[in-house]
Each structure stands twice: as structure tokens, then as C-alpha cells.
Amino acid sequence: MKQMPDAQSPLKLGTRGSPLAVAQARETRDRLMAAHDLPEEAFEIVVIRTMGDDRAMIAADRPLKEIGNKGLFTKEIEDALLSGRIDLAVHSMKDMPTVQPDGLILDCYLPREDVRDAFVCLTAPAIADLPQGAVMGTSSLRRRAQLLNRRPDLKLVEFRGNVQTRRKKLEDGVASATFLAMAGLNRLGMTELARGAIAPEDMLPAIAQGAIGIERRSDDARAERLLSAIHDTPTALRLAAERAFLATLDGSCETPIAGLALLEGDAIWLRGEILRPDGSESIADDIRGPASEGARLGRDLAQRLLARADADFFAWREA
């Protein structure tokens, strides 16, 4: 087994290049430093450009489903991990496909941040205060469908880019308001941008929102040992339920799906929602059971929602 990382042979952490992604990689590095009493020089953060970061695509505000679906923000990073260019890959878990490539494993999660969506607007304090026909910017199929379900009068435009890019678009008048994840604003120290956090009861978040996952090669015993010291079991239990729910629904960038698992002692409470992309119909339900059976609960809840959906509920997928 390789020795502990040091300045001459640092552990390489791969990440996307946005300020938020780099902040998440630094949080991972700092936790590893503290857990193993290692200096900063024992780690190297390697920025990797993904298809989802293509500036031309962002500038054109193309819908994500036109660019690519699963793996849009992860494939190039995972390729670097498989080739040995990096030792670990740091991901926002809401971007992660539910199945990892052969040779890779995802079994380390950091403590989960705030799961809620943030309402960001320069003029109105809340969604209800937006005027009739106001323009809302978002590229999220989930947020679009949830918003149209509640405010079908609003006009929606594609709105991509990192936190800084989206703020600039609001200032330029591209849209009146947008959504960001509270977790990202917290990690960037930019909570002042949020007019308020939206309660899950009003807008159920994306699967795994607020969670950071660290992926490794399945045969890398050193990485497994290093990561075991920073793994957060409560987050893992919650994500097991949420990601099983997503996997059973075959979720992708084309599917408006929301879900949130909460721990209640030794039990887990999972809420889930599926929507038509135009917001015309929402089907929601919840389930409770032992936290150790989160994956089964996620599958069971997904089957419940599928059973309640009309035969044409997912017809838009083939349209």
C-alpha cells in the first residue's frame, strides 16, 4: 500500500472549475487534513472541464436535455479518475448518475448542507410577490415544473451558469428572479443573495441536494482508508433512500423528480414527487420505515408514484 500523501506525492482531488465546485474540493481537502493530521501540501486540487461547463453552451442557455443527460457534469472527471490522473473525484451529489462506471465506487459523503432552494430576486421578496407574467430564469426541469404547477402565469427562460453568472444575468435584466441552492450559497459565503429559503413543504428539493460525494477507484485501498475517516453515515442513509427512489424512476436531466429523506431516530421519512414538465400535474407521496432499509423504501415509494400516474404521464419522454 502507498504511504500517506505528502508534498512530493500529493493526493490529487479532481473537481469542476466553478467557484462552488472548488470550494467543495477544498472542504474535502480540509476534512482529510484534519482527520489525518496532514499539511495542505499533501493535497492537490485538479480542475477538470466537463461537457456541462462548455462556455458556448452556457452562453446559448441551451436546455440541459439538448446537451446531454446523465454524466453531463461528471464523465470527464470520472475518466480522469479511471486513468489515474487524479486519486479522488469530488462531486455535487445532485449531479451524479445513480450508477457508477465499472471500476469506480462512491461510498464517502460529507455532512449534508442546507437542502432548500433559495429564491433570488432583485425586486420581489418571495415567489408570491412576483407580478403576473414575470420572467423567471432556471434550467432545472424540476424547478420549472414545480414553479409552473404553482404559478402557471410566469414566463420561464433558460438560465445556466455558476452563482456569479446567474447574479449578473439578473442584474442585466435577463430575468426577474431565479433559484439557487442554499447549500451553495452557504459554502460560498453568499447567503445575502437569497431573499429567503423555500421550505421543502412548498418546493421539494432535488435528489441529494446539499450533499458532497467523493468517488474513488474500487481497488484503491489507500483512498478507502483515508475517506473512511471523513464519511458521514447519516448523510449516506438519507442518500441511499433518495437515490434508490431516483433510480427506480429512471431519473435524468429530462425528468422532473424531487425527493427528500429525513432521519427520525432509527427511522427514515422519505417524501417524493414527480411532475409533468409543464407543471400541469404533480404526484406526491411519502413513506416511513427503518433507516437501515432506505434503499427499499426509496424503491417502494417510486413504485407507489408510478402506480398513481396515468398511462400517458411519461409520454413526453418519447415526444
**Which one of the listed residues 30, 54, 87, 95 is annotated catalytic?**
95
- β strands within 175-281, DSSP E: 177-181, 196-198, 212-217, 257-264, 267-275
> Is 250 designated active site?
no
Distances (CA, A) of 94 to 16, 97, 132, 169, 260: 14, 8, 31, 23, 12
Phi then psi for 261, rounded to 5 degrees? -110, 135
**How far is the C-alpha of 233 from the C-alpha of 213, rounded, in Å?**
12
Q: What is the DSSP letter of 77?
A: H
Distance of CA 128 to the CA centre of its chain: 26
**How far is the C-alpha of 171 from the C-alpha of 230, rounded, in Å?**
39
**How far is the C-alpha of 12 from the C-alpha of 36, rounded, in Å?**
16
Contacts of 176 (CB under 8 A, 6+ apart): 121, 122, 123, 124, 130, 134, 135, 136, 170
Catalytic residues: 95
